[in-house]
Amino acid sequence: MRCLKILFCVLIVFSFHALPQEKNSPVKDSISSLIQKFSDRDPFVRGDAVTLVVKLGSAAVGHLVIALNDKNDDTRLCSAIALGRIAPQGAKSITYLVEALKDKNPDVRWCSAIALGKFRTDAESAVAPLLAMLNDSDRDTRWAAYTALLKINKASINKTREIGEVIRTIETLTPQLMKELRVPGVSISIIKDHKLAWIKSFGFSDAAEKKPVDNNTMFEACSMSKPVFAFIVLKLVEQGILELDKPLYDYLPEEFVGEDDDFAKMITARMILIHTSGMPNWRRSGDETGGPLPVYFKPGTRFNYSGEGMFYLQRVIEHLTKKPLETLAKESLFDKLGFLSTGYTWTPEHDRQIATGHDTSGVPKERSKYTHANAAYTLCTTPEEYAKFIIEIMKHDNTNGVSLSGKTVNEMVRQQVRVDTREVTDRPGRALGLYSFRGLGWGIDSTITGDIIYHSGSNQSGFRCYSQFRMDEGSGIVIMTNGANGSELWTRIISKVGDL
């Protein structure tokens, strides 16, 4: 490795002599003196030196490309900054800036990528390294690579991964993470081209019994219950039974506690589905005990994730339809899609299919038996059936009596409220996230190549799960685990595979 580095330094010096040289020594001496200041402890001294070097323009380029390989981090960083400010002059520095994309210092990589973008189409040789940089460990550096690619070759960004590559990554990574994180069981489904393309199960549904997970193993969907509920609600909207923007108080008055008594009369189904109702996630006394239910701010004014809101909306639709949620879900969705392993309530028939949750040490927890449906978290299902639910949302043909209309689906996945309190999911490559939003029942990450619709879930019973999809490409993934460290597992898988 040392020999390679020495060889690279020799090549830089050789190339430097091939560059047009300054004719007078005072200029050369001035540039060398300024570059020496790039390593000064005082950042203002370094900044002034960069500014003065930049004023010398192309005459400084040869010196700067040599300094890009200096052992001092600040010298390399200042050199990249200066070359970026001189660009698009100094096109002969492109080769060296491409090499600097491999620098150990993320700041140097960041500035080098930005600099390359200023050369626009002249930097076509940087496209492949910049595409690779979209998988950089540093998120800001990925963003820099993205902005550079936009200027150099925008079309190069939107390249999907081969599904075989994604599957190989998942099959290798999942067992490793299960062992490291003590997650006993995992099941994963992949959607490609609007179809279920792959499903695989790993580990045990119960670590004590050593019962293996299979494709029929049911997991608690946790908060992934909410998008299914949103689908059912929107079906009622299409049928004229419920209005999205009519106060729910007009359907079923509820007693709330808040600074303004009128807040209770403002909450709508839309506000609940996009989490702007003002309600907390759960009231202090528990959601089903009938204790005081607060509204902390004026409904509709900002985002605050709320399971209580979903449970209130559930009570409203049960009142309007005169049916419990489980019955309504089966009649309007589960039975029509042929789901045999999905439900909001526990049944004896499903008992042996349902996995056991485990704590962070992989020790089995007491199994939950949800005899009362809660729209926010009690759904149990398989990754296969949940994937088929997502496929139903993405369908182009909405004439089967089950699907939502295209207009309703578009409204469901539309960016309805910006969420600045939550970071976008960490994804590599073309799925680099920009901003986070909420749609009706779903989270939405805007990325450099389009929106990714998603939802995660976490129950105290020891289950963690995740799902995402892209409407524009008909692709998606569902990951369900029965371990309390499952959130870390799915996070690390998604950080590798991105958006498929």
Q: What is the dihedral of CA 259, 265, 268, 269, to 10 degrees?
A: 100
Sorting pLDDT into bands at 50, 70 and 90, what band is 42? very high
Distance separating alpha carbons of residues 207 and 184, to the nearest angstrom: 6
Sorting pLDDT into bands at 50, 70 and 90, what band is 247? very high
Q: CB under 8 Å, gap of 24 or more: what pairs does 258-261 form?
A: 258/294, 258/295, 258/296, 260/298
Res 159: pLDDT = 79
Mean pLDDT of the chain: 93
- On the question of pLDDT at 3 being above 70, the answer is no
pLDDT digits (tens, 9 = 90+) for 443-466: 999 999 999 999 999 999 999 999
Over residues 75-94, mean pLDDT:
97
Q: Give the single-character DSSP code of 93.
A: G
Res 25: pLDDT = 53
Percentage above 70 pLDDT, the chain: 94
pLDDT digits (tens, 9 = 90+) for 152-177: 999 999 877 789 999 999 999 999 99
Distance separating alpha carbons of residues 50 and 224, to the nearest angstrom: 52
- On the question of pLDDT at 69 being above 60, the answer is yes
- On the question of pLDDT at 215 being above 70, the answer is yes
> 3-state DSSP call for residue 102?
coil
pLDDT digits (tens, 9 = 90+) for 255-312: 899 999 999 999 999 999 999 999 999 998 765 677 889 999 999 999 999 999 999 9
Res 26: pLDDT = 63
- On the question of pLDDT at 13 being above 70, the answer is no
Res 44: pLDDT = 97
